[in-house]
């Protein structure tokens, strides 16, 4: 997160730290345990400051996240959309049909990735290529404001050229994930990049969103390291898995 927020390549960071590029690659893959001193050095090399706090571990979101991850991405969105709110799943399907060159970010991306937070509004936020300092997007629906468009189901498309902590579309595109929908494919910001945006944002909901992204990352890591089981019911399987988990270091 620090390296990409600073716009550095692995080699750039390695040169600043006086280590091999392969060392940086192993740190980022998780192949080598990184000491707190190394993380502080990385932050400093990226002209950032690492702020650490002790907090009570809270796994209350884990069961809901595990259930979300059992669903298809659009079903995750539907499950978190309040009754009577605009149909964001339909709006995302419209984006898939349009084949726009963009990356979904914000609340819609969090829901697609499996976070547990109920969606608060009727907007889909995306990062699109910037041209002359303004987001570039071909016609997808009626334009209601400078960087806002009307989508199906009453949803609003909000276009951001350079989300907080990023260098724009090309930066996010590299790590973005392809998600299939019945209408086609959409690009969604990776969990690490979504966490990077929330970490750099000054929006009042950013702290809660960062905690939600981190919780999804923790659950995915725990699931990858959990022994395989073959219980027939998804609920029983999740309950059994949760009982065997030890806290995941964050």
User: Which residue intervals of the chain are DSSP H helices?
Assistant: 2-5, 10-17, 21-29, 36-45, 62-69, 73-80, 88-98, 106-113, 169-175, 191-200, 206-225, 234-243
The predicted structure's pLDDT at residue 147: 83
Of the candidates 184, 92, 172, the residue with the CA atom closest to the CA atom of residue 130: 172
Sign of torsion over alpha carbons 15, 21, 23, 29: positive
CATH number of 2-45: 1.10.260.40
Q: Of 8-12, 27-31, 190-194, which gets the smallest average pLDDT?
A: 27-31
Q: Global pTM? A: 0.82
79-101 average pLDDT score: 90
Q: Tens digit of pLDDT for each residue in 129-182?
A: 755 555 556 667 777 777 888 888 889 999 998 999 999 999 999 999 999 999
Whether 213 contacts 221, CB under 8 Å = no
Domain ranges of the chain: 2-45, 71-203
The predicted structure's pLDDT at residue 108: 96
The predicted structure's pLDDT at residue 240: 67
């Amino acid at each position: 997160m620090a390296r990409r927020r600073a716009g550095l390549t692995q080699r750039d960071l390695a040169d600043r730290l006086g280590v091999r590029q392969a060392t940086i690659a192993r740190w980022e893959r998780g192949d080598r345990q990184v000491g707190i001193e190394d993380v502080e050095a990385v932050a400093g090399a990226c002209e950032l400051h690492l702020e650490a706090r002790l907090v009570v571990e809270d796994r209350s979101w884990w069961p809901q996240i595990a259930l979300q991850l059992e669903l298809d991405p659009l079903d995750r969105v539907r499950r978190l959309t309040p009754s009577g709110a605009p149909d964001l799943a339909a709006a995302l399907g419209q984006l898939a049909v349009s084949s726009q060159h963009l990356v979904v970010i914000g609340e819609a991306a969090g829901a697609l990735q499996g976070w547990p937070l109920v969606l608060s509004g009727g907007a889909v936020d995306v990062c699109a290529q910037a041209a002359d300092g303004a987001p570039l997007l071909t016609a997808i629906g009626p334009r209601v404001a400078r960087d806002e468009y009307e989508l199906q189901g009453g949803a609003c498309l909000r276009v951001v050229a350079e989300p907080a902590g990023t260098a724009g579309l090309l930066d996010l595109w590299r790590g973005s994930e392809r998600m299939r929908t019945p209408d086609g494919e959409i690009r969604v910001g990776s969990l690490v990049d979504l966490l990077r945006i929330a970490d750099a944002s000054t929006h009042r909901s950013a702290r809660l969103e960062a905690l939600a992204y981190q919780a999804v990352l923790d659950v995915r890591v725990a699931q990858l390291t959990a022994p395989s089981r073959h219980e027939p019911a998804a609920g029983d399987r999740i309950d059994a898995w949760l009982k065997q988990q030890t806290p995941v270091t964050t």
